[in-house]
Amino acid sequence: MKRFLSVLLVLLWSATATAQDQHSYAQLERISTPHLELDLVVDFEQKQVRGTAEYRLQRHQAATALTLDTSELTVTAAEIKVAGKWQATTFTLAEAHPSLGSKLTIEVGTEATEVRIHYASAPTASGLQWLSPAQTAGKQHPFMFSQSQPIHARSWIPIQDTPALRLTYNAKVRTKPGLRVVMSADNSLEPEPSGSYEFSMPQPIPPYLIAIAAGDLEVKSISANVAVFAEAYILADAAWEFADTPAMIETTEAMYGPYRWDRYDLLILPPSFPFGGMENPRLSFITPTVIAKDRSLVNLIAHELAHSWSGNLVTNATWRDLWINEGFTSYVENRIMEELFGVERAQMELALGYQDLLADLESLDPADTIMHIDIGLRHPDEVFSQVPYVKGQLFLVYLEQQFGRQLFDQFLKQYFADWAFKSITTAQIRAYLIEHLLEPNPGKVSVAKLDEWLYQPGLPTDAPQPSSDAFEQVERQMQIWLKGGQLRTADWTTHEWLHFINNLPLDISAVNMARLDREFGLTQSNNNEIAHAWLKLSIIKKYQPARERLRDYLLTIGRNKLVAPLYRELAKNPADLSWARAVYEQAKTGYHPLTQTVNQAILYPQGEAQ
């Protein structure tokens, strides 16, 4: 009977709004933590963040224990506040699960209103990267930054690390005098020479949006509410490259409602930053690899900014629902690009994304091409692909086409207002779509079609198939060129070059590779996306003149999307693999933990050390 009841409860539970997040030990339904006070030291000598995390407790059920997520943390003490007084309490740190880390259980009795944990992070924390002065551009000062999404906040803060939680936070942070500390909070444009900073994030955010960085940072304003933080060497270039950011904010507000986060600043990270960008609220973290000096890759800014609505305002409740963050954001990103730079550019960017998706759909296990993906207990980083991004985006493009842009825009604006500061599951958004889009506009999209998009692998047969007139021109030119004619590339943008290189026939001759390189200097391209596409082709074609550039590229860039496909290509034959391992061994101390984990697995699939 008891067994039956618990099975029933689990069934009921999984059918309700807050489906359990399999990637967290938090039990929000018992006790949640709506506010956090951090008091931290960022210690570069020990590569350690240490101090206290203090939570306000909100009790929902009778419970005497608070469970938190941790990963490689050392916990030295726990206290609870009972009747206004702090007292020591007991805690247990469970054995670590390989992808989830260790459950921290703290006895909080029935009366405690707050809890305080004394802890320190490990030098190997998966959510932090520590750079020595020599690894920075300025060479004088060290640098550190966090990347908490998806489940790495727990490696530097003991926390209920599930995006179903929302919490506000304040932080006191001390570091080496002369360094600047910034967080996903109310950064001041004035530095504190003492190295002692205070922050406040008054809007409730999910834990994966808590972010910190410290380094020799300077700041340059772009407008009254937009500034760039960066090391001096790239500050002016970054401010120029991203000068359209204020216009992007205005455009997005006009389409989807007010920007709810006060300032919007950009932090330019060292080139080892493992992503293109990360939408930390009020302060997007941005790779320097998109600073191409021609603003050709600024869709990244449109993307991270778009997350201020899709993701940060309305948040995926679990990592199975990541498409709710990334699909909506990719859609909004492309709408911003269309508004500011025209349909042709937006169309090209959508078509490039579609090609990347098709490649992923070919190589992935079909089960992992479902939008509401079953991750099981795999690490969410392990199932990262274009599916939540581009399949999610195509789903919204499809809805836009079926219902018309005007109606769909109104729907989206209302969705962001209705779900602001809430976390949402796929089941909840399904119900919302039915109630607010499908039912009021009958005969356009069936519930069965909706379910096909959400719960079936691959793409529906009537999915949009984005193409671009400009790309068709490129393909015609390519045919002429392959027969010995001239390429007319004078008006080609980065996008046309990417389409050209990515679609060259794989039997292209060595002579033609050399001819391309001679005429267009592709091996030496300063555009990191073009260089990536060309270097990948050079591996496939064994085009040796690109080798030194490839080595240099792998040694200086750590953005995983630019690096992993190159190692993957190199790993396909033994000679290249041993060359790649040698480069990797040299590069890895400069790589972020994520880039190390992913590429280590590519180069040493059997797990051998050398």
- As annotated, the binding site for Zn(2+) includes 303, 307, 326
Q: At which residue do the structure tokens 């109310």 appear? A: 186
What, of ligand BES, Zn ion, none, does residue 50 touch, CB below 5 to 8 Å by kind? Answer: none
Taking CB under 6 A as the criterion, the residue among 205, 209, 230, 278 binding ligand BES is 278
Stretch that binds ligand BES, among 269-277, 340-348, 441-449, 493-501 (CB under 6 A): 269-277
**Site for ligand BES contains 275 (CB under 6 A):** yes
Taking CB under 6 A as the criterion, the residue among 50, 141, 307, 320 binding ligand BES is 307
Give the β-pairing of 180-183 and 74-82: unpaired
Residue 277 φ then ψ, to 5°: -155, 165
Q: Which residues contact 11 (CB under 8 A, 6 or more apart)?
A: none
Residues 373-402 interacting with ligand BES (rule: CB under 6 A): 389
CA distance 212 to 285: 10
Stretch that binds ligand BES, among 255-263, 271-279, 497-505, 550-558 (CB under 6 A): 271-279
Q: Which residues are annotated as a binding site?
A: 147-149, 274-279, 303, 307, 326, 559-561
**Site for ligand BES contains 79 (CB under 6 A):** no
What, of ligand BES, Zn ion, none, does residue 300 touch, CB below 5 to 8 Å by kind? Answer: ligand BES
Taking CB under 6 A as the criterion, the residue among 300, 337, 364, 537 binding ligand BES is 300
CA distance 115 to 130: 29
**Site for ligand BES contains 21 (CB under 6 A):** no
**Site for ligand BES contains 277 (CB under 6 A):** yes
Residues 322-351 interacting with Zn ion (rule: CB under 5 A): 326, 329
CB nearer to Zn ion: pick between 78 and 268: 268
Is residue 216 within 8 Å of residue 140, measured between CB atoms?
yes
Least distance in angstroms from the C-beta of 582 to ligand BES: 27
CB nearer to Zn ion: pick between 318 and 329: 329
Site string for ligand BES, 537-576 (x = CB under 6 A): ------------------------x---------------
CA distance 308 to 199: 19
What, of ligand BES, Zn ion, none, does residue 175 touch, CB below 5 to 8 Å by kind? Answer: none
**Site for ligand BES contains 195 (CB under 6 A):** no
Least distance in angstroms from the C-beta of 326 to Zn ion: 5
DSSP state of 199: E
Which residue of the set 54, 79, 304, 452 is catalytic? 304
Which residue of the set 119, 256, 389, 553 is catalytic? 389
Q: At which residue do the structure tokens 């779900």 appear? A: 419
Can 398 be counted among the known catalytic residues?
no
Determine the angle formed by the axes of helices 547-556 and 528-540, rounding to 10 degrees.
130
Tokens matching residue 517: 């390189």
Give the β-pairing of 265-268 and 283-286: parallel
Q: Which amino acid is at 189?
A: L
Least distance in angstroms from the C-beta of 381 to ligand BES: 7
Taking CB under 6 A as the criterion, the residue among 101, 127, 142, 150 binding ligand BES is 150
Stretch that binds ligand BES, among 174-182, 220-228, 277-285, 562-570 (CB under 6 A): 277-285
**Site for ligand BES contains 242 (CB under 6 A):** no
Stretch that binds ligand BES, among 49-57, 298-306, 334-342, 441-449 (CB under 6 A): 298-306
Q: Which residues contact 454 (CB under 8 A, 6 or more apart)?
A: 370, 371, 372, 426, 430
Q: Which residues contact 4 (CB under 8 A, 6 or more apart)?
A: none
Can 389 be counted among the known catalytic residues?
yes
Tokens matching residue 341: 């730079």
CA distance 256 to 311: 14
CA distance 441 to 268: 45
Cα-to-chain-centroid distance, residue 341:
24
Q: Which residues contact 606 (CB under 8 A, 6 or more apart)?
A: none
CB nearer to ligand BES: pick between 389 and 415: 389
Stretch that binds ligand BES, among 178-186, 275-283, 391-399, 402-410 (CB under 6 A): 275-283
Q: At which residue do the structure tokens 């990963």 appear? A: 71
Least distance in angstroms from the C-beta of 16 to ligand BES: 25
CA distance 377 to 185: 32
Q: At which residue do the structure tokens 């490259």 appear? A: 241
For 441-463, b/e burial (b = at least 16 CB within 10 A) is eeeebeeebbebbbeebebeeeb
Least distance in angstroms from the C-beta of 324 to Zn ion: 11
**Long-range contacts at 78-81 (CB < 8 A, ≥ 24 apart):** 78/106, 78/115, 78/116, 78/117, 78/118, 79/115, 79/116, 80/106, 80/107, 80/108, 80/109, 80/112, 80/114, 80/115, 80/116, 81/112, 81/113, 81/114, 81/115, 81/116
**Site for ligand BES contains 304 (CB under 6 A):** yes
DSSP state of 465: -
**Site for ligand BES contains 149 (CB under 6 A):** yes
Tokens matching residue 18: 């807050």
Which residue has the CB atom at the shortest distance from ligand BES?
276
Least distance in angstroms from the C-beta of 269 to ligand BES: 11
Q: Which residues are annotated as a binding site for a peptide?
A: 147-149, 274-279, 559-561
Stretch that binds ligand BES, among 212-220, 299-307, 490-498, 574-582 (CB under 6 A): 299-307
Q: Which residues pair with 129 in a beta bridge?
A: 145
Least distance in angstroms from the C-beta of 445 to ligand BES: 26
Residues 313-352 interacting with ligand BES (rule: CB under 6 A): 326
Stretch that binds ligand BES, among 300-308, 396-404, 580-588, 600-608 (CB under 6 A): 300-308
Least distance in angstroms from the C-beta of 131 to ligand BES: 19
**Site for ligand BES contains 495 (CB under 6 A):** no
Count of CB atoms within 10 A of residue 97's CB? 13
Least distance in angstroms from the C-beta of 313 to ligand BES: 14
Give the β-pairing of 143-146 and 212-215: antiparallel
Tell me which residues touch Zn ion (CB under 5 A): 326, 329
Binding site for ligand BES (CB under 6 A): 149-150, 275-279, 299-300, 303-304, 307, 326, 389, 561
Residues with a known catalytic role: 304, 389
